[in-house]
Structure 1
Amino acid sequence: MAHQLRDMHGAARAVAYLMLAAGPYNFVTGVLMKLGDPLGQVVALGVTSFVLFAVGLICLRRPERMPRLFWLLVPLLGAGVITGLNVATADATMGPQLFYLWPLLYAAMFLNRRVIALTVVQISAGHALTAFQFQESGQALLDWIAITVAMSMTAVVVAGLRERNDRLRGVLETQATSDSLTGAANRRAFDAALSDAVATAGDHDPVALIMIDVDHFKTINDTWGHAVGDLALRTVADALRDAAEGRRHMVARLGGDEFAVLLRAAPYAAVHFTELVRARVAATAELPSGPPSLSIGIAVLPEHAHTGDDLQKVADAALYRAKEGGRGRSKMAHPTVTLRASA
């Protein structure tokens, strides 16, 4: 997203620590060490020091009180404050210019490339305003070029490392929450998704839990080999994903030949989903064993349960009835089953 903040907690801590350090530093160097300067300038620096420290405390203890726009504008505000302080103290030496690193690193760590580039431009312009005002023009030009190049290269390196880290973290998260054979979610991811789905479900946004077993899967493995068995599992997983038809869903492999689907659907839509799954599996021609049959149990919250545990119980009970009834069929949970499971 164009204006997405990547890590609210990290951003708040970064701002807080800077402000809590910058406030006292500015007070010592701009007020206590320059008491002989014009009164207006000393008072302005003192007020600035107090504001910086106060903002740091708020960001540390109550970051939620700061408007969201503040976190997006922080690097631009920070660069502006640094430029203002450098001009106010008539200090164009390289030491104070190092403070520009903070807004630059903040933008590179937490914001997008557009904001990073805008921050570099503002830092370059801010330093030019200070350098050409208080230094000889030749030295000012050299310092300005050095600062601009150094800040640009720093931004490129830090943003590149951040993006690489994001890609690696994405790979690790996928590996930690998915089944390597089918690409479906694993039990860990399913449990988390079920908890979230139950918390947000309601009469106008029901959640269907669909439990699926591949019938006689051991026979497929024993007769045709594990390679064909693996292909059968991938075929079922693909059919479950394809049949969702754009609905919010999660397909999970819970272990062996057992799958589960969380689907934002009412009972009728959930039954229609299972029919589509069967049709897609039946249309598969690449399995030497032939398309596998499926036993399916369906339960919907809040019609059949009110908690995640109860929803799993009634869906499992419906799946068991489908197997008892001869396999290769779907069964919907009954309210009476819900009452017994919850008792």
Structure 2
Amino acid sequence: MPARLRDLHGAARAVAYLMLAAGPYNLITGVFMKTDDPLPQLIALGVTSLALFVIGVVCLRRPEQLPAYFWSAVPFLGVTVITGLNVATEDATLGPQLFYLWPLLYAASFLGRVTTALLIAAISAGHAIVAFQYTDNGEGLLDWLAITVAMSMTAIVVASLRERNDRLRGVLETQATSDSLTGAANRRAFDAELDRTVTRAGPQDPYALVMIDVDHFKTINDTWGHAVGDRALRTVADALRAAAEDREHMVARLGGDEFAVLLRAAPYAAVHYAETVRTRVAAATDLPCGPPRLSIGIAVAPDHATGTEELQRAADAALYQAKEGGRGRSMLATPAAVAV
């Protein structure tokens, strides 16, 4: 099973730029500047340079066409090529060994810890072949230890920075897609999820859009203060999440006292969910204003709509009917909607 790739776009660019640089570099330094070397060696280096360049072009232009395992295998391929070139040129100096930094940085940036550790072992083994073969034993051992330790420490630093960046990005993504007061998703996240949900909804996999308004919320704020109003909104959000139980769902606060829920449910299961929410909110005893009443409108795809805008209109119409019918009730978007 291939290791999980963190960022295909970034990985593809990293591989592409290296290959596009390594191909011409090897061609110039290994072929054009060493024309006196044996012909088979020059041909091998020339073919390798061309292959690196072609791989670079594919990674840059069509990365999605490459198999998933390629992105995990490419740093090991890089180590193999670097080691092979060092052996072919009998070069154990520091300069060529620095090329091992690329596959190491790639793995530490885009792959997991286990893959990075295996790559360090591969680099250490590859350099040992060159160091012990083309230098004195004592000098080769010190050189091998230095490269192995340096690569290991570099990987630790890069992986630590990457994990820190992942955590910070996670925090930023949460802040960008959630409501700070209730912890529910915000409108931006909800709209994106709504499009995906309606697209995959089908007769055997229906999804309900449940629209909720807190009745007379302005009166709660004006009479009891905004702190109590905020507590009332959190109570509603908690009830919306809890009532979904194990069903696939997304709770969002669209603004003010308006909430929406995407729920994997058929029409009457969605009605049952709405009444469960109402029961949970009614059971709240810690609000000085008393439990808030809710007006709820429900529409289900594909029963009531097949498109995003159509589903929203159906749910909004049902919510409007609930308010017109006296508030504090649920309405299902049917041709002849009946109060529940």
Category of TM-score, reference length = shorter chain: over 0.9
Q: 1:38 to 1:336 in 2, by over 3 A?
A: farther
* Partner amino acid, structure 2, of 1:90: E
Q: How does 1:319-330 map to 2 (within 5 A)?
A: 319-330=319-330
Is the 1:304–1:335 Cα contact (8 Å) retained in structure 2?
Answer: no
Q: Give the match for residue 341 of structure 1.
A: none
* Partner amino acid, structure 2, of 1:47: V
Q: Give the match for residue 197 of structure 1.
A: 197
Is the 1:249–1:261 Cα contact (8 Å) retained in structure 2?
Answer: yes
1:45-86 Cα distance to aligned partner (Å, 9 max, x none): 111111111111111111122111011111111111111111
After TM superposition, the runs of 4+ consecutive aligned structure 1 residues lying more than 4 A away are none
* Partner amino acid, structure 2, of 1:49: S
Q: Give the match for residue 127 of structure 1.
A: 127
Between 97-106 and 299-308, the greater mean CA deviation after superposition: 299-308
Q: 1:335 to 1:15 in 2, by over 3 A?
A: farther
Secondary structure of residue in 2 paired with 1:298: strand
Is the 1:3–1:112 Cα contact (8 Å) retained in structure 2?
Answer: yes
1:252-278 Cα distance to aligned partner (Å, 9 max, x none): 111111100011211011111112211
Say what the alpha-carbon RMSD is for the aligned residues: 1.5
Q: Give the match for residue 159 of structure 2.
A: 159
Q: How does 1:209-288 map to 2 (within 5 A)?
A: 209-288=209-288
- Residue 336 of structure 1 deviates from its aligned partner by 7.3
CA distance in 1, matches of 2:273, 2:2: 36
CA distance in 1, matches of 2:225, 2:277: 24
- TM-score if structure 1 supplies the norm length? 0.95
CA distance in 2, matches of 1:336, 1:295: 18
CA distance in 1, matches of 2:17, 2:168: 28
**Sequence identity of aligned pairs in percent?**
74
* Partner amino acid, structure 2, of 1:263: L
CA distance in 1, matches of 2:20, 2:291: 66
1:166-217 Cα distance to aligned partner (Å, 9 max, x none): 1111111111111110011111111111111122222222221100011111
Secondary structure of residue in 2 paired with 1:114: helix
Number of equivalenced pairs = 337
In the alignment, structure 1 residue 141 sits paired with structure 2 residue 141: yes
Q: 1:239 to 1:65 in 2, by over 3 A?
A: same
Q: 1:335 to 1:41 in 2, by over 3 A?
A: farther
- Residue 39 of structure 1 deviates from its aligned partner by 2.0
Between 282-291 and 268-277, the greater mean CA deviation after superposition: 282-291
Secondary structure of residue in 2 paired with 1:299: strand
Between 126-135 and 35-44, the greater mean CA deviation after superposition: 35-44
Is the 1:2–1:112 Cα contact (8 Å) retained in structure 2?
Answer: no
Is the 1:281–1:292 Cα contact (8 Å) retained in structure 2?
Answer: yes
CA distance in 2, matches of 1:335, 1:127: 75
Is the 1:104–1:119 Cα contact (8 Å) retained in structure 2?
Answer: yes
Secondary structure of residue in 2 paired with 1:176: helix
- Residue 144 of structure 1 deviates from its aligned partner by 1.0
Q: 1:14 to 1:234 in 2, by over 3 A?
A: same
1:107-149 Cα distance to aligned partner (Å, 9 max, x none): 0110001111111111111111111000111211121111111
Q: Give the match for residue 117 of structure 1.
A: 117
Q: 1:15 to 1:126 in 2, by over 3 A?
A: same
Structure 2: unaligned runs, 5 residues or longer: none
In the alignment, structure 1 residue 53 sits paired with structure 2 residue 53: yes
CA distance in 2, matches of 1:116, 1:334: 57
1:284-333 Cα distance to aligned partner (Å, 9 max, x none): 22112221111100001111112111111111110111111111110001
* Partner amino acid, structure 1, of 2:312: Q
Q: How does 1:39-78 map to 2 (within 5 A)?
A: 39-78=39-78
- Residue 223 of structure 1 deviates from its aligned partner by 2.0
1:13-67 Cα distance to aligned partner (Å, 9 max, x none): 1111111111111111111222222222221111111111111111111112211
* Partner amino acid, structure 2, of 1:282: A
CA distance in 1, matches of 2:130, 2:280: 69
CA distance in 2, matches of 1:335, 1:58: 55
Q: How does 1:9-48 map to 2 (within 5 A)?
A: 9-48=9-48
* Partner amino acid, structure 1, of 2:164: R
Is the 2:214–2:258 Cα contact (8 Å) retained in structure 1?
Answer: yes
